[in-house]
Amino acid sequence: MLPSETTLNIFAKPDPLRDILGDLRISGLSYGRCELREPWGIELPAQREARFHFVAAGSTLLKAPDGTWHRLDAGDVVLLPRGDAHALASSETVQCTPLPDIVREEIGHRTYRLALDGCHPPGAILFCSSVSFDAPSAHPLIELMPAQLIVRAAGEALEPLLRIMADEILAEKMGSATVLTRLADVVITRVIRTWSEAQPSNGDGWLSAIRDPKIGRALAAIHREPGRHWSLAALAHLAGCSSSSFRDRFTRSVGTPPAKYAARWRMHVAGTILRDQRLSNGEVGAKLGYDSVTAFTRAFRRITGKSPGSLRRIPT
């Protein structure tokens, strides 16, 4: 086999995780460099945006959304996909200051420096970011992720990307916002992939489902063709299972039945189109396989609890 043919085969290999992560589109980014002298503590409130923190030097403690403490050392990364409230501190006993009460030096559009001056040399240097996903509350995978994803020792794959992000924010070059957004897209994908590969292969949940060759194929197909009204039989055929065993296996792994998952994903895509494109409800419905405006509107309201017009007011 020729080298070029080998390369083509590598890139043609099915990758359900790639297909699904491709749907997590970043629509906004803020980024900051934090220099922290002990003792210090920052309380970060809940927000709609995801957050991630990279420990560039020293160490810090993360108080996770469930109240447990985790030590993060240089090279560690944590992603909080739903932006749950948490804290970062030099010790568990330090008094944490709410982030809105801390003065930050704005150095560009949605970029900043933050310094907390304690009585010791810098104990940690962190690069922190808030990331907006497109319609995050509607994305089934974000809802199924754990509250925090911790990747230990980012190493050769992640650390250079994070260093480049740091250089961009400090250099304040033209086009840095675009570069940072694209780098963040890669970093978050890498974080989720690295974390997923470190999880037990015999567990339940969406990560286990993606790595399951049968369920992963079905999940990727649902994401690739949201306008197809997938039947249980069609998905089971893709997975190479009987309908009953596929339904049970999918529900156990993903946490919701295949039909419900596919319907929720279809409405997520509909919401994205309604926000981003000047299309009527009928045109959006047609893109997603509905024969009439009434059928689309009824399905959208049933699944999301909202009317299509509440997302974008255009003629129907």
**Which pLDDT belongs to residue 208?**
72
**Which pLDDT belongs to residue 294?**
93
The three-state secondary structure class of 119 is coil
Provide the CATH number for the domain formed by 206-310 in this structure: 1.10.10.60
Give the pLDDT confidence of 295-309 residue by residue, as tens digits: 999 999 999 888 888
Whole-angstrom distance, CA of residue 152 vs CA of residue 154? 6
DSSP 225: -
Give the pLDDT confidence of 230-244 residue by residue, as tens digits: 999 999 999 999 999
Query: Would strands 26-37 and 86-89 be described as parallel, antiparallel, or unpaired?
Result: unpaired
| Tokens encoding 254 | 């993903």
Question: For the chain, which residues score pLDDT lower than 70?
Answer: 1-28, 108-109, 118-122, 134-141, 143-144, 154-155, 169-173, 177, 196-207, 312-316
Measured CA distances, 199 to 66, 192, 253, 269, 275 (Å): 20, 11, 14, 29, 35
**Which pLDDT belongs to residue 210?**
75
Where along the chain do the CATH 1.10.10.60 domains lie? Answer: 206-310
| Tokens encoding 257 | 């039945």
The CATH architecture annotation of domain 16-197 reads Sandwich (2.60)
Where along the chain do the CATH 2.60.120.280 domains lie? Answer: 16-197
Q: Please give the backbone phi and psi of residue 230, each rounded to the nearest 5 degrees, phi first.
A: -65, 130
**Which pLDDT belongs to residue 286?**
93
